[in-house]
Amino acid sequence: MKFTKCDETPLGIYPVVDRACKLRPLYECGITTAQLRTKDAFSGQALEDEVVEAIKISEAYNARFFLNDFWELGIKHKAYGIHLGQEDIQEADVEAILEAGIRLGISTHTPKEIEIALGFEPSYLAIGPIYEPISKKLTYDPVGIEDLKRWAKNVEYPIVAIGGITIENIQAVVKTKAASGIAMISDVLENGEISKARVVALIEDFETYGN
């Protein structure tokens, strides 16, 4: 089992959004990778319509779009990639995702979970939370910068750092050079909408301190 690679370009600033309509302003700023994570906001046809719209927008900008959780819809509508958590990876039809030629990202929080994820030979690993998350209640202890660097040494796949990363602390994460991508949730927003000024500043930090 070996999933299709993302291309050689770093994943970069990797926003995670809850609505397809938030993708276009991100791509207009130069974002090349994004994820739709709707959780329980939609169901049924409304959910499928949202996924279809997200894929359509992403393809128009030639962006790397990952769909969180809903792997059946990702296969049906030919998403660039699917992102799954540790519990989801045990329940999803991973073989079907592989056979569809869709890329796979997997969440990890501990060395043991990294070991499990590597068994799937995914397209990338997400490691976190790097800091205490802003967007949700803390379930795992923060990984921190030093463990991120240490764990990354044993991983040959692209790494996405996630969890509690903000405009104030992103430079420290990027400077580790351990992450191909930096997942952002709250800090690409202002009053619930995409802040192009924030997104541009984050991209500049990634490009400045990641080289």
User: Looking at the annotation, which residues are catalytic?
Assistant: 37, 107, 136
Residue 209 CA to residue 173 CA, distance in Å, equals: 9
Pairing state between β 189-190 and 193-194: antiparallel
**Phi then psi for 143, rounded to 5 degrees?**
-70, -45
Instruction: Give CA–CA dist 167/191, Å, rounded.
Output: 16
DSSP H helices in 103-190: 111-118, 144-152, 170-175
> What is the DSSP-derived secondary structure letter of residue 49?
H
133 is written with which tokens?
């998350």
CA distance 201 to 207: 10
Helix (H, G, I), strand (E, B) or coil at 128: coil
> Which tokens go with 15?
């926003």
List the structure tokens of 72. 């059946």
Residue in the structure block whose two tokens are 């994460």: 173
Instruction: List the structure tokens of 194.
Output: 């995409």
